[in-house]
């Protein structure tokens, strides 16, 4: 029998943590052959503490309780938690030399710096969206921006994102990443301004701004629309999740990549993203 990857899930009782546990452990899922869930970690006060993580995730029992303690051994950790929970997770991974996938969004600048520091000693994949379709759309958005940035009459770019009513951060990490990449592709002499919503007498829109609009409705698992507006026509690039499994599957792919790289060798310490995992790091920008 081939060796499976020992996976610890941080934020295991949450919406995303449950889907990671389910995809990693459910025998009907193709990725289950690769992983053994060895720890399902959440905070000590969580009402699901002590319950079987498989049951919590809506699958059959996996013999691993949701617990606040870290395991004695793991090959890799996937984190879908809260910004305030992330620091302890990073500390554990550094102390134990565990590779880490960070999916949590809404991180502070200090937390981004400490992730970069931690990546001197362990390999980390950090991305605001683990979805293949989203990451591919980011590359497409860069290409559209490059192609149209000097169009006669000018180009206006606005980012609309829709998420479920429970989401804690706005705009989404994905929207901010779209904006960062598009801003680089705008490559104007003037600095890009990131404008969050508009209200009142705003005056005319300037050329060098990117607008962000965060919509919170019902149970939407995540949708991003990038509007490229010109005089006379527009392009709308829309990427939408039907459920959370695109993110969970992407996180598992990232975990597998950290442990086995592209050639079966573990990835060295460093800060990686989903472009690296998906082989899109060098895609035309």
Position 132 contacts ligand NDP (CB under 6 A): no
* d(C-alpha 225, C-alpha 203), whole Å: 24
CA distances from 202 to 71, 156, 176, 195 (A): 53, 16, 22, 11
Which lies closer to ligand LZUJQKHR via its Cβ, residue 123 or residue 179? 179
Position 46 contacts ligand LZUJQKHR (CB under 6 A): no
Q: Of residues 95-114, which lie at the interface with ligand LZUJQKHR (CB under 6 A)?
A: 105
Active-site residue, 6 included: no
The one of ligand LZUJQKHR, ligand NDP, none whose footprint includes residue 163, by CB under 5 to 8 A per kind, is ligand LZUJQKHR
Q: Which of 6, 46, 48, 163 is catalytic?
A: 163
Cβ neighbors of 184 (< 8 A, separation 6 or more) are 142, 285
Is 28 annotated to bind a ligand? Reply is no
* d(C-alpha 181, C-alpha 237), whole Å: 15
Is 196 annotated to bind a ligand? Reply is no
Active-site residue, 3 included: no
Position 171 contacts ligand NDP (CB under 6 A): no
The site that binds ligand NDP (CB under 6 A) totals a number of residues, namely: 25
Cβ neighbors of 105 (< 8 A, separation 6 or more) are 83, 128, 169, 172, 173, 174
Position 172 contacts ligand LZUJQKHR (CB under 6 A): yes
Q: Of residues 127-156, which lie at the interface with ligand LZUJQKHR (CB under 6 A)?
A: 128-129
Asked if the bond preceding 271 is cis, omega within 30° of 0, the reply is no
Residue from 238, 234, 228 nearest 182 by CA: 228
Minimum CB distance to ligand LZUJQKHR, residue 167 (Å): 4
Active-site residue list: 163, 167
List the binding residues for (S)-2,3,4,5-tetrahydrodipicolinate.
164, 173-174
Residues that bind ligand NDP (CB under 6 A): 10-11, 13-17, 41-43, 46, 80-82, 85, 103-106, 127-130, 169, 247
Q: Which residues are annotated as a binding site for NAD(+)?
A: 11-16, 42, 103-105, 127-130
């Amino acid at each position: 029998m081939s060796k499976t990857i020992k996976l610890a899930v941080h934020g295991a009782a949450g919406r995303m943590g449950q889907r990671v546990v389910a995809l990693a452990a459910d025998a009907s899922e193709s990725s289950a052959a690769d992983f053994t869930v060895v720890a399902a970690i959440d905070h000590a006060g969580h009402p699901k503490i002590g319950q079987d993580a498989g049951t919590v995730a809506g699958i059959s029992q996996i013999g691993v309780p949701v617990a606040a303690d870290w395991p004695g051994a793991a090959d890799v950790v996937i984190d879908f938690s809260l910004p305030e929970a992330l620091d302890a997770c990073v500390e554990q991974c550094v102390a134990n030399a565990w590779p880490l996938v960070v999916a949590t969004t809404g991180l502070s600048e200090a937390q981004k710096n400490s992730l970069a520091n931690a990546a001197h000693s362990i390999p980390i994949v950090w991305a605001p969206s683990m979805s293949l379709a989203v990451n591919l759309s980011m590359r497409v958005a860069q290409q559209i921006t490059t192609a149209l940035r000097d169009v006669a009459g000018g180009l206006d770019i606005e980012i609309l994102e829709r998420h479920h009513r429970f989401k804690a951060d706005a705009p989404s990490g994905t929207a901010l990443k779209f904006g960062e990449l598009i801003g680089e592709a705008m490559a104007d002499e003037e600095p890009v301004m990131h404008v969050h919503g508009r209200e009142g007498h705003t005056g005319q829109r300037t050329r060098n701004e990117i607008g962000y609009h965060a919509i919170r409705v019902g149970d939407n698992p995540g949708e991003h629309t990038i509007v490229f507006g010109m005089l006379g026509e527009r392009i709308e690039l829309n990427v939408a999740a039907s459920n959370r499994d695109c993110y969970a599957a992407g996180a598992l792919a990232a975990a597998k990549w950290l442990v086995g790289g592209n050639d079966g060798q573990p990835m060295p310490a460093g800060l990686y993203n989903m472009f690296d995992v998906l082989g899109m790091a060098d895609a035309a920008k």
